[in-house]
Amino acid sequence: MHEEKELEVKLAIRDPEVARRVLTSHGFEYEDTCLEVDIYYAHPCRDFVKTDEALRFRTRKCNASSHYAVSYKGPRERGITGLKIRTELEIVVDELAWTTLRSIMEKLGFKPIAEFAKMRELYKAPRMKATLDTLFGVGFFLEVELDRMEDVTKLNDLLGKIERNTAISTIDKTYLEICLETGKCRPRVE
């Protein structure tokens, strides 16, 4: 089976405007702004908290495009400091397939355990992606994703700049964990 590894860093930040400027000065181009709503499921007999896995149904509605996606996230692997590495399998499907697959999972005993929304600005640079995220009820975050481990020096350069200017801290937690722990996330924008 083909497995995709996701390599990413998440930072809590103070000021999205500062992060925007740093991204742009490092060759990132703004692509789109999206409202993402994620629904995470619990397995009927396997504890995803213990196994550090996740099953997620996502809607992403952007200014320029939209999609429905279903993802499996595997357990975090040991990465260099701050870098999260995990298997990510994702399919993008149409709305009917997305809704039907949710019904199939629910009939099989999977239970929705959390639903929350964030506003996401998407940025792109060669072999790198970044998102500037507003997690409603919680705060601002920046994520940077690498296609290849070889670009880690470029990433560190960018992160150094962010850290000096607007970062609060590097976050090892997923948004799901942040939402479950704080209890402050919201399923939609009011």
Give the interface with ligand ATP as residue ranges (CB under 6 A).
8, 31, 38, 122-124, 129, 131, 143, 145, 174-175
Smallest distance from Ca ion to CB 76, Å: 11
Q: Considering CB distances under 5 to 8 angstroms, the limit depending on partner class, which of Ca ion, ligand ATP, none binds residue 121?
A: none
Question: Mind spelling out the 3-state secondary structure of 27-71?
Answer: CCEEEEEEEEEEEEEECCCCCHHHHCCEEEEEEEEECCCEEEEEE
Q: Considering CB distances under 5 to 8 angstroms, the limit depending on partner class, which of Ca ion, ligand ATP, none binds residue 131?
A: ligand ATP
Q: Please tell me whether residue 163 binds Ca ion under the rule CB under 5 A.
A: no
The only residue of 143, 151, 172, 177 in contact with Ca ion, by rule CB under 5 A: 143
Q: Considering CB distances under 5 to 8 angstroms, the limit depending on partner class, which of ligand ATP, Ca ion, none binds residue 174?
A: ligand ATP
Within 10 Å of residue 16's Cβ, how many Cβ atoms? Answer: 16
∠ CA 57-63-66, rounded to 5°: 30
* Three-state secondary structure call for residue 148: coil
